[in-house]
Amino acid sequence: MAPGPLIYLDVDGPLIPFGLEPSLYPLFGPSPRDDENPLLGRLDPSHGPRLKALPGELVWATTWLHDANDALAPRLGLPRLPVMDWPEPSDTDEADARIGLHWKTRPLLEHAQNRPFVWVDDEISEIDRDWTSGHHAGPALLHRVDPRHGLTGADYRALGEWLRETRRS
């Protein structure tokens, strides 16, 4: 059987919302310890079961790198997940930035190797979608999340539908 879809998951924005007045965010316990990132208080642990229920393989795709497994996974009740290691800066970065291509887009496509994937991020644009459709042979959903609210029920429904549909075809 062909391998199922990958789910690349950004943290800042989709799981840790920002952009509103800080006092407007609900805080979830337990409070971050002094040596932890205070933003962890905004992490709603109910994302864990909802992420786990998505029919695909979760991969951290975030600048939190391995801290996502150390700091977030236990709070979410998730196992340790594979982590995207971002490449060193290269000559193409400047050109990509000029056309507005996100710095994650190229590495994610390289990692996916034409496997179906979902990318959940608050910084996705039409440029990333266009580039992906020209450079990725399999199905791909680049799903932009509003960073003020993070992943919502509507986001989870859209992701679940696309993933189930993609597995069927």
C-alpha to C-alpha distance for 102 and 93, rounded to whole angstroms: 9
| Nearest distance from C-beta of residue 126 to Mg ion, angstroms | 17
- Nearer to Mg ion (CB atom), residue 13 or residue 56: 13
Report if residue 10 touches Mg ion, rule: CB under 5 A.
yes
CB closer to Mg ion out of 10 and 128: 10
Q: At what angle do helices 105-112 and 92-99 cross, to 10 degrees?
A: 110
- Residues paired with 7 in a beta bridge: 58, 118
Indicate the residue whose CB is closest to Mg ion.
13
Stretch of residues binding Mg ion (CB under 5 A), selected from 18-26, 50-58, 74-82, 121-129:
121-129
Q: Give least dist CB 19 to Mg ion, A.
A: 11
Report the nearest approach of Mg ion to the CB of residue 158 (Å). Answer: 18
Q: Rounded to whole angstroms, how far apart are CA atoms 4 and 164?
A: 10
Site string for Mg ion, 13-52 (x = CB under 5 A): x---------------------------------------
Q: Contact with Mg ion (CB under 5 A): which of 8, 108, 122, 141?
A: 122
Spatial neighbors of 9 by CB under 8 A, at least 6 apart, are 15, 51, 58, 59, 60, 61, 62, 120
Query: How would you class 110 by CB atoms within 10 Å of its CB: exposed for 0-12, middle for 13-18, buried for 19 or more?
Result: exposed
Token representation of residue 86: 């971002």
Nearer CB in complex with Mg ion: 109/145: 145
CB of 42 to Mg ion, least distance (A): 13
Q: Is 16 helix (H, G, I), strand (E, B) or coil?
A: strand
DSSP summary character for residue 60: E
Residues that bind Mg ion (CB under 5 A): 10, 12-13, 122
